[in-house]
Amino acid sequence: MTSGSSIGISTMKPCCRILCNYKSPSIFGFSPTKFSDSAIMGMLSRSGHHKSTHCCRYNTCDTQVAGYINVIKPNRRDFSVSGSNWGLARDFSTSVCVNIGSFRPRVVSLIPHVASDFRNQSTSVDSHAHDTSFEKIYIQSGLNVKPLVIEKTETDQSILEEVSESNVNLDNLKDLSENKVQSKVSEVEKEAWKLLQDAVVTYCGNPVGTVAANDSADKQPLNYDQVFIRDFVPSALAFLLNGEGEIVKNFLLHTLQLQSWEKTVDCYSPGQGLMPASFKVRTVPLDGSNEALEEVLDPDFGESAIGRVAPVDSGLWWIILLRAYGKLTGDYTLQDRVDVQTGIRLILKLCLTDGFDMFPSLLVTDGSCMIDRRMGIHGHPLEIQALFYSALRCSREMLIVNDATKNLVAAVSNRLSALCFHMREYYWVDMKKINEIYRYKTEEYSTDAVNKFNIYPEQIPSWLVDWISEDGGYFIGNVQPAHMDFRFFTLGNLWAIVTSLGTTRQNQGILNLIEAKWDDIVAQMPLKICYPALEGEEWRIITGCDPKNTPWSYHNGGSWPTLLWQFTLACMKMGRPDLAQKAVDSAGKRLSLDKWPEYYDTRNGRFIGKQSRLKQTWTIAGFLTSKMLLENPEKASLLFWEEDFEVLQNCVCMLSKSGGRKCSRFSSRSQFLV
């Protein structure tokens, strides 16, 4: 069936409804085709589907659809509109492409002759706010896009087989390196795979994610029975590394559909492009029926979360996972879809919007990432900046470059350059840099100031002086005017290694520090989310006396096994798999016995967290992913980034070189090429 003859509702399988209330005008410039309930049921009836006690349907009333492309053959996209650039093959005549081995050609340089005026050199996309091609990339000839229908292909491997004690056969797990059967799978791994399978959530018969925790003994699951975007990433990688891509594809497309729905807190809506923190599959009565039921997706954009904070990291993780899906499956048709390209662009537009901030780093509030409670990370926290940098690099790989996107691609490249310099220059500390800060002059007012953020030397904490190793260093947690957060945040530092946000020397310094301070950061259960913990009066002021973030618990110095997979990836990139293996072996001795907790407490990670959920899915998935990465180094290499020298050379500072005003990045660039 071609797109031209499709009627928008699949005659093979009914779609499902997304629970939302979208009242705003169409953001894409068209209104979706609307069907009455009777019309829908009539079509389903003609195709052999009748009302039952449990059915699924798509509610087209007051909703927006993020596009549809039915891929019939691997190299064919069934989306074509007369006169549309999106229906044509890519034209790389003005770009440079590279094809290394079996890798897919990707754009590695910008289209020449991009306008060179000041606004076009900005790292923001606000200067192109009136570019109607961005908002109307779907509407050529008034096209009405069909709703999302995910169809299984013959090569898709379902992960929803009934699992019972009598038929579990995890010895047949695939080794993707040679597509052979693994000869040895430990009992712990078998248990982990069983638990991961049990955590799978289905939506209208298709797998769409995994719940955060799946402990049947937990009588108050709160929101742990939902599918979180950030939590699903290690699960997705485990499935992808095991050759199971269907659940990841479904997850990416369904969360994409949730992206642009209206979300409000106190009659205020956040920016367009926001991804939900989580979603839940609910079964509700079918409209107009007291007997029939339907499944709906109910997203949470932060309006129900503790603190009511929008999840900044969800969209960044979504982009990162989209790239990983293409790299590990070889299926790049997903990221080339119109709706997916639009999703990337909406996230980027939200992140690159001009504001009052003077820094290239992303300004966020407390609780907007993995640390989703008040922990004093508001401002420009390291975790968000590392994920932001990664998402920008992913986007530059995946965006199709044409007249409608060249300005956005230029803004992405410029922001990458500015952010890379900013993080390497101002967030990095080692013994040399701490000595410089110790001798800082303050109250400097000039463009040539050394102490640009007016940091007072007294801010250097006493614990840091004796803690940092001679040959180690790390990226601190935050930099703002008159404030440096010297805490070591593990996720941000590991992701700085994975993405090459740090230089080779800096990346080596981070692993050197972790190895030297193994008992503090890894201890008996990898890995501390941050070090050290806030205690005493500092804990009361910064956390607001949070009873969950007490010292050495939860976000305040607790140990999180899910960080294993990121540690493993960072170690493998830097040629230190021995460190990763040591951490995985340490975790493997306890996780199963302790029933796979969410986190551990105490300075050494000896106790199961006092409020820790058991059978925590991303703990399970993090362990499995780490094991498979160590066994498949060639797959691990697809998930990290090497240094991008084009980013380093792309200085977009528009300050005049005359009159004592100069770009500090020119004078500092050489030391960052190490």
8 falls within a domain: no
pTM > 0.75: yes or no: yes
**Higher-confidence position of 89 and 304:** 304
Each residue's pLDDT tens digit, 487-501: 999 999 999 999 999
Give the mean model confidence (pLDDT) for residues 135-156. Answer: 39
**In the prediction, which pLDDT does 485 show?**
98
**Higher-confidence position of 537 and 105:** 537
Name the band, by pLDDT with cuts 50, 70 and 90, for residue 220: confident
Neighbours of 522 (CB within 10 A): 25
Name the band, by pLDDT with cuts 50, 70 and 90, for residue 16: low
**In the prediction, which pLDDT does 664 show?**
52
Give the mean model confidence (pLDDT) for residues 410-422. Answer: 94
**In the prediction, which pLDDT does 4 show?**
40
Lowest-pLDDT choice from 285-299, 311-325, 594-608, 638-652: 638-652
Q: At residue 117, does pLDDT exceed 80?
A: no
Angstrom distance (rounded) from CA 72 to CA 337: 13
**In the prediction, which pLDDT does 532 show?**
98
Q: What angle do CA 343, 344, 349 make, to 5 degrees?
A: 100
Give the mean model confidence (pLDDT) for residues 435-447. Answer: 92
Give the mean model confidence (pLDDT) for residues 90-103. Answer: 37
Neighbours of 560 (CB within 10 A): 28
Distances (CA, A) of 154 to 12, 71, 208: 15, 12, 18
> How much of the chain is in helix, strand and coil states, percent to nearest 5?
35, 10, 50
Helices (H), 47-92: none
Give the mean model confidence (pLDDT) for residues 410-415. Answer: 94
Q: What is the mean pLDDT of the chain?
A: 78
Angstrom distance (rounded) from CA 327 to CA 624: 19
Bond prior to 527 in cis (omega within 30° of 0):
yes
Q: With beta carbons less than 8 A apart as the criterion, state whether 486 and 477 touch.
A: yes
**In the prediction, which pLDDT does 333 show?**
97
Q: Which of 181-190, 282-291, 439-448 has the highest mean pLDDT?
A: 439-448
Report the Cα 558 to chain-centroid distance in Å. Answer: 22
Each residue's pLDDT tens digit, 376-411: 999 999 999 999 999 999 999 999 999 999 999 999
Among the listed residues 628, 383, 389, the one whose alpha carbon sits nearest the alpha carbon of residue 500: 389
**In the prediction, which pLDDT does 17 show?**
54
Give the mean model confidence (pLDDT) for residues 154-164. Answer: 40
Angstrom distance (rounded) from CA 643 to CA 646: 9
Each residue's pLDDT tens digit, 311-344: 999 999 999 999 999 999 999 999 999 999 999 9
Report the DSSP beta bridge partners of residue 74: none
460 falls within a domain: no
Q: At residue 265, does pLDDT exceed 80?
A: no
Looking up tokens 């979504």 gives 318
3-class DSSP state of 425: helix
Each residue's pLDDT tens digit, 520-563: 999 999 999 999 999 999 999 999 999 999 999 999 999 999 99
Residue 559 DSSP class = B
> What are the backbone dihedrals phi and psi of residue 530, each rounded to the nearest 5 degrees, phi first?
-155, 160
263 falls within a domain: yes
| Rg over CA atoms, the chain | 25
Q: What percent of the chain has pLDDT over 90?
A: 60
**In the prediction, which pLDDT does 272 show?**
84
Each residue's pLDDT tens digit, 340-372: 999 999 999 999 998 898 999 999 999 999 999
595 falls within a domain: no
Long-range residue pairs from 204-208, CB within 8 A, at least 24 positions apart, any chain = 204/13, 204/14, 204/15, 204/16, 204/56, 204/295, 205/13, 205/56, 206/150, 206/152, 206/246, 206/250, 207/158, 207/159, 207/160, 207/246, 207/247, 207/250, 208/247, 208/250, 208/251, 208/254, 208/281
Give the mean model confidence (pLDDT) for residues 19-24. Answer: 44
**In the prediction, which pLDDT does 127 show?**
52
Q: Which of 16-20, 162-166, 505-509 has the highest mean pLDDT?
A: 505-509
Bond prior to 633 in cis (omega within 30° of 0):
no
> What are the backbone dihedrals phi and psi of residue 508, each rounded to the nearest 5 degrees, phi first?
-65, -35
Host domain of residue 301: 184-308
What does the H/E/C string look like for 102-134? CCCCEECCCCCCCCCCCHHHCCCCHHHCCCHHH
567 falls within a domain: no
Helices (H), 593-636: 617-631, 633-636
Within 8 A by CB and 6+ apart from 663, the residues are: 651, 653, 655, 657
Domain count within the chain? 1
**In the prediction, which pLDDT does 123 show?**
64
Give the mean model confidence (pLDDT) for residues 449-455. Answer: 92
Give the mean model confidence (pLDDT) for residues 100-122. Answer: 40
Extended beta strands in 494-555, E state? 530-531
**In the prediction, which pLDDT does 125 show?**
62
The gap between the terminal CA atoms of the chain, to the nearest Å, is 55
Q: With beta carbons less than 8 A apart as the criterion, state whether 579 and 504 touch.
A: no
Q: At residue 129, does pLDDT exceed 70?
A: no
**In the prediction, which pLDDT does 289 show?**
75
230 falls within a domain: yes
Among the listed residues 149, 124, 139, 141, the one whose alpha carbon sits nearest the alpha carbon of residue 27: 139
**In the prediction, which pLDDT does 159 show?**
38
Q: What angle do CA 529, 535, 538 make, to 5 degrees?
A: 105
Q: What percent of the chain has pLDDT over 70?
A: 68
Q: At residue 137, does pLDDT exceed 70?
A: no
Q: At residue 649, does pLDDT exceed 90?
A: no
Give the mean model confidence (pLDDT) for residues 617-624. Answer: 98
Quick one: angle between helices 382-398 and 312-329, nearest 10? Answer: 40
Within 8 A by CB and 6+ apart from 541, the residues are: none
Q: Which of 127-131, 135-139, 213-217, 444-448 has the highest mean pLDDT?
A: 213-217
3-class DSSP state of 180: strand
| Strand pairing class (227-228; 97-98) | unpaired
Give the mean model confidence (pLDDT) for residues 54-64. Answer: 39
508 falls within a domain: no
Query: Exposed (0-12), middle (13-18) or buried (19+): which is 103, by Cβ within 10 Å?
Result: exposed
**In the prediction, which pLDDT does 46 show?**
39
**In the prediction, which pLDDT does 197 show?**
97
**In the prediction, which pLDDT does 448 show?**
85
Each residue's pLDDT tens digit, 38-58: 444 444 443 444 434 344 433
301 falls within a domain: yes
Name the band, by pLDDT with cuts 50, 70 and 90, for residue 73: very low
**In the prediction, which pLDDT does 447 show?**
82
